[in-house]
């Protein structure tokens, strides 16, 4: 684990990463010269690097430079963005098309590629999971997640980042059936050789927060555990990390993890986390009434981000008596006011407006508010 300099240039990040990997035995501990390497960054949304919601392109470039210095030139940058987002547009917004051209790396939108089904040994939830067929043609998977606190889970780190290797339909299934256990099952069939968490500028509930931190290691759970502890979250209190350890995916026991470089005490940067359910965060948005009946983590996460964005845009104050309905268990719609049903699980009626999606998209939520209630 390394505390980085503030606002580092790519050359400085290369130095930081070189030091991190030397502490772990060097690049050769994770890949052989001439290997075919897939880089799996987090490029889930169409945002600029300054917004810090995706893996910093400087980190991706620095990893490519280290691999090329070691003798690896067959490099693939691969991702499938969140449901409803065009991965190729997300790549371009982050400048990854330029980086790929500059270093002759291949840029791959996994949503446009075939998937293969893998059986899950001793599954918690899913007996099989479709994953990118590209994994069968590589030698080394380098996992490059962003350090994030999000609304669907307390943290989004290395294990969660592997969800970008599955198709959109499977992502929806993960949220509907239970994201925590589904992530554990995914960890049983996909094991990255190396995970490097980009925490230079962290994403604190979708807002940039300078953290100046890089955490790297071979055990994705151990890396997630150390990063979680660094931002003030005991890893054993994060359900999917705890379940993954119990399932043998890796370890989150800080007493069994050798932390090289800077210590936890030296890198502490506590980050805010979201409330655990829409009922809890409804208090953050008193302008609206939320009717939630068993919404999955996908729609709960979209609801938080949608309301946060709408409030920042000043929309909520301008729409009196707005009532939002989410979840499959809503038997009766609220009466009166402006009723908006969210997600495919809700049943629209003539008395309410409806925003479909699985999950629904926050950008479309704000657009609908403008056109329907303020147009």
Let me know whether 102 and 207 are in one domain: yes
Tokens found for residue 162: 């592997």
Do 176 and 298 belong together in one domain? no
How many domains is the chain partitioned into structurally?
2
159 and 253 both lie in a single domain: yes
pLDDT tens-digit profile, the chain (375 residues): 999 989 999 999 999 999 999 999 999 999 999 999 999 999 999 999 999 999 999 999 999 999 999 999 999 999 999 888 999 999 999 999 999 999 999 999 999 999 999 999 999 999 999 999 999 999 999 999 999 998 778 999 999 999 999 999 999 899 888 899 999 999 999 999 999 999 999 999 889 999 999 999 999 999 999 999 999 999 999 999 999 999 999 999 999 999 999 999 999 999 998 766 555 666 678 899 888 877 887 888 888 888 888 998 999 999 999 999 988 877 778 888 889 999 988 876 666 889 988 888 888 899 999 999 887
In a domain, residue 273? The reply is no
List strand residue ranges (DSSP E) for the chain, in order: 2-3, 36-41, 74-79, 106-109, 115-119, 128-132, 140-144, 146-149, 194-204, 207-217, 288-292, 322-326, 338-342, 353-355
Place of tokens 């980042």: 161
Confirm whether 178 is domain-assigned. yes
Domain membership flag for residue 322: yes
26's CB contacts (< 8 A; 6+ apart) are none
Domain extent for 115: 2-267
pTM of the model: 0.86
Domain contains 11:
yes
Same domain, 299 and 263: no
Q: How distant is the alpha carbon of residue 73 from its chain centre?
A: 27
User: Is the same domain home to 48 and 190?
Assistant: yes
Q: Which of 245, 267, 289 is the endpoint of a domain?
A: 267
């Amino acid at each position: 684990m390394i505390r980085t300099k503030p606002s580092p240039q790519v050359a400085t990040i290369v130095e930081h990463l070189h030091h991190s990997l030397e502490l772990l035995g060097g690049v050769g501990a994770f890949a052989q010269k001439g290997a075919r390497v897939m880089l799996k960054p987090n490029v889930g949304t169409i945002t600029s690097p300054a917004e810090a919601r995706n893996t910093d392109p400087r980190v991706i470039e620095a990893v490519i430079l280290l691999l090329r210095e070691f003798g690896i030139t067959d490099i693939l940058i691969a991702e499938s963005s969140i449901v409803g987002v065009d991965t190729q547009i997300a790549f371009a917004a982050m400048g990854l098309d330029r980086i790929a051209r500059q270093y002759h790396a291949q840029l791959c939108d996994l949503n446009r590629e075939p998937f293969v089904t893998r059986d899950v040994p001793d599954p918690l939830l899913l007996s099989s999971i479709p994953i990118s067929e590209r994994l069968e043609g590589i030698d080394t998977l380098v996992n490059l997640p962003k350090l994030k606190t999000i609304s669907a889970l307390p943290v989004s780190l290395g294990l969660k980042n592997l969800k970008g290797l599955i198709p959109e339909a499977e992502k929806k299934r993960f949220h509907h059936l239970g994201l925590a256990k589904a992530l554990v099952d995914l960890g049983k069939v996909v094991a990255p050789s190396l995970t490097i968490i980009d925490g230079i500028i962290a994403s604190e509930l979708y807002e940039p927060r300078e953290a100046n931190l890089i955490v790297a290691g071979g055990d994705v759970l151990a890396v997630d555990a150390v990063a979680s502890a660094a931002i003030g979250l005991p890893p054993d209190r994060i359900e999917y990390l705890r379940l993954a350890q119990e399932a043998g995916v890796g370890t989150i026991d800080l007493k069994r993890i050798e932390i090289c470089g800077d210590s936890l005490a030296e890198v502490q940067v506590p980050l805010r986390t979201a409330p655990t359910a829409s009922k809890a965060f409804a208090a953050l948005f008193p302008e609206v009434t939320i009717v939630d009946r068993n919404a999955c983590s996908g729609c709960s996460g979209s609801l938080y981000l949608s309301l946060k964005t709408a409030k920042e845009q000043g929309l909520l104050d301008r729409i009196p008596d707005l009532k939002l309905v989410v979840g499959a268990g809503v038997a009766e719609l609220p009466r009166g006011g402006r009723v908006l049903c969210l997600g495919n699980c809700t049943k629209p009626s003539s008395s309410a407006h409806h925003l479909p999606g699985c999950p629904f998209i926050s950008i479309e939520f704000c657009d609908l508010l403008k056109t329907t209630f303020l147009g």
